[in-house]
Structure 1
């Protein structure tokens, strides 16, 4: 018996709409999800998104879902993959591991993002929170964000650039705010994924880089990069010795912890979305997956699709004044 079949009965009991509980609807959901599922990632292999996607794909397989294929479609800061998924057949078999900035910041920063997050997508579940960080090469002469800013001011001719995998992200907005408050000009440089960006950070091509902590852990553990500070209001259990950026006097990054969630095309049927939601929430409870992702610097934050949609709306509202103040507009 498939995982979808086993969880089918339990999915619909707790839903507000009683119609979803009908066996006929459950059977249609099972039929729609027959065969391999595709989980699309908008970045190159090796980064945080890819790590999360492959961990969940393996856990879903262990739970009986069958083959879950992770498909990387990098480019345009994740928008190529998003547009691919939104235009795919709404049968629940093609999903997107969406980084929250595409829901909470891009609608504000891009003139024409190519999608309407509210109309084109349906939230399935939140999976993890994504603490982010600023890192530099291990041989660089600064050991924290404060010392980096002091160094950059004393060495204006040196490379003062921030590598990012996503333009228009909270990291991009944060560095623009730092430029404003510190009277600096740190230039954001866009990459097609965290892995190539971090290679350039480690070699000094760019002086610092910003992305998810999970993307940075392999090179950090290999001694190639060092952390200058992490986002959020408190230090991470995985990196207790690394100060938050806020602790160092840079509150611009306090709200730079985003999340990964699952979305599908907007016309995906309710009962199909419900089956997917329960499957991902069940996978989130697996101790092995939790341990694996925590070691990468990710924080488990499973939540239902309705809660994910509400969180996205609230974060969109909170970022609006920041975007208006910095004046960032992306083509």
Structure 2
């Protein structure tokens, strides 16, 4: 091989390395897809859309929300698991799917937590316990007393077997020593409609869908299941204040990437997400939804989700909950 050929090969290799470095440094160089494991309109979808536009502006590329509901979050999680780990396919994950579904849905075996890389938590929201108009209870203590006096008579709605609402109801039964009748629905919307119609007595859920009806008096909020008050429901006590200090069922909504996504990409994403979440506009929108802008770093979110996975496993096992 001549010296000229050797020099040409060396130059080609150097150009290749430089091109790779520039490509990585230029991330993102095309639109990013943020997959949502639910239909449009729910809190997970709202969280994704709250983040997508300002994050896209910060990164200089569009962040496109792609709703892929189904299989208790499995369709979306598997899609992200199988995507190239290049930062262009992300998941706005819902905690109920991340830490409860794996315990109750066999199809969840198609993905595991280790298949996803935590990027940042975006929103956190407690469940609110709401009862129908006309139910003769005004506090959580009165609800517990009513349930004890009428075993199995109270019915609570959920968005399906194995959903967070279902498991929150089971947690309430376990901690209060009561028995209720679980009525599963295919989503929060149908459950809410039957609650408003008086076909069921109560339900649990993140505040956004219920706030308008609480404010109008069509539903009554008894307590929130987190450790702090919800600004848009300032007069509603926490479960601890209402007598059940261990009734903590907070939902969280965080961004995940495929496993093995390069650390520089994760670092850039989480840094820009943190900046977006720190803006007054984002915080105000979160407050209006009955949530909080609750940033967690990749390591913090990974540690938290791991501990939550173990905590909810105990509730599911004790209640013998299985999905359809």
Answering whether residue 299 of structure 2 is matched by residue 319 of structure 1, we say: no
Question: In structure 2, what is the equivalent of residue 28 of structure 1?
Answer: 24
Answering whether residue 152 of structure 2 is matched by residue 148 of structure 1, we say: no
Question: In structure 2, what is the equivalent of residue 123 of structure 1?
Answer: 118
- 2:108 alignment partner, one of 104, 113, 138: 113
Give the match's secondary structure for 2:193: helix
Does the 8 A contact of 1:44 with 1:195 survive in 2? Answer: no
Give distance in 1, aligned partners of 2:160 and 2:292.
20
Give distance in 1, aligned partners of 2:41 and 2:216.
15
- The alpha-carbon deviation at position 113 of structure 1 amounts to 1.5
Give distance in 2, aligned partners of 1:26 and 1:306.
27
Does the 8 A contact of 1:130 with 1:257 survive in 2? Answer: yes
- The alpha-carbon deviation at position 154 of structure 1 amounts to 5.7
Answering whether residue 205 of structure 2 is matched by residue 211 of structure 1, we say: yes
Question: In structure 1, what is the equivalent of residue 4 of structure 2?
Answer: none
Instruction: Within 5 Å, give how 1:268-307 maps onto structure 2.
Output: 268-307=261-300
Question: In structure 1, what is the equivalent of residue 5 of structure 2?
Answer: none
Give distance in 2, aligned partners of 1:36 and 1:219.
38
Answering whether residue 256 of structure 2 is matched by residue 263 of structure 1, we say: yes
Does the 8 A contact of 2:151 with 2:180 survive in 1? Answer: no
Instruction: Within 5 Å, give how 1:28-107 maps onto structure 2.
Output: 28=24, 30-31=26-27, 33-107=28-102
Q: Normalized against structure 1, the TM-score is what?
A: 0.80
- 1:175 alignment partner, one of 160, 163, 169: 169
Superposed CA deviations along residues 257-284 of structure 1, whole A, max 9, x for unmatched, are: 1311101222433332222222211211
- The alpha-carbon deviation at position 289 of structure 1 amounts to 0.7
Give distance in 1, aligned partners of 2:47 and 2:278.
14
- The alpha-carbon deviation at position 77 of structure 1 amounts to 3.0
Q: Please list every run of 5 or more consecutive structure 2 residues that lacks an aligned counterpart in the other structure.
A: 1-17
Does the 8 A contact of 1:110 with 1:329 survive in 2? Answer: yes
Between the two proteins, the alignment pairs up a number of residues equal to 306
CA distance 1:274–1:217, change in 2 (3 Å)? same
> Which structure has the larger Rg?
2
Does the 8 A contact of 1:29 with 1:275 survive in 2? Answer: no
Q: Please list every run of 5 or more consecutive structure 1 residues that lacks an aligned counterpart in the other structure.
A: 1-21
Question: In structure 1, what is the equivalent of residue 9 of structure 2?
Answer: none
Higher relative contact order (CA 8 A, sep 6+): 1
Give distance in 1, aligned partners of 2:193 and 2:170.
23
Question: In structure 1, what is the equivalent of residue 240 of structure 2?
Answer: 246
Answering whether residue 159 of structure 2 is matched by residue 165 of structure 1, we say: yes
- The alpha-carbon deviation at position 288 of structure 1 amounts to 0.5
- The alpha-carbon deviation at position 59 of structure 1 amounts to 1.9
**RMSD between aligned alpha carbons?**
2.9
- The alpha-carbon deviation at position 285 of structure 1 amounts to 1.2
Give distance in 2, aligned partners of 1:157 and 1:175.
13
CA distance 1:152–1:52, change in 2 (3 Å)? same
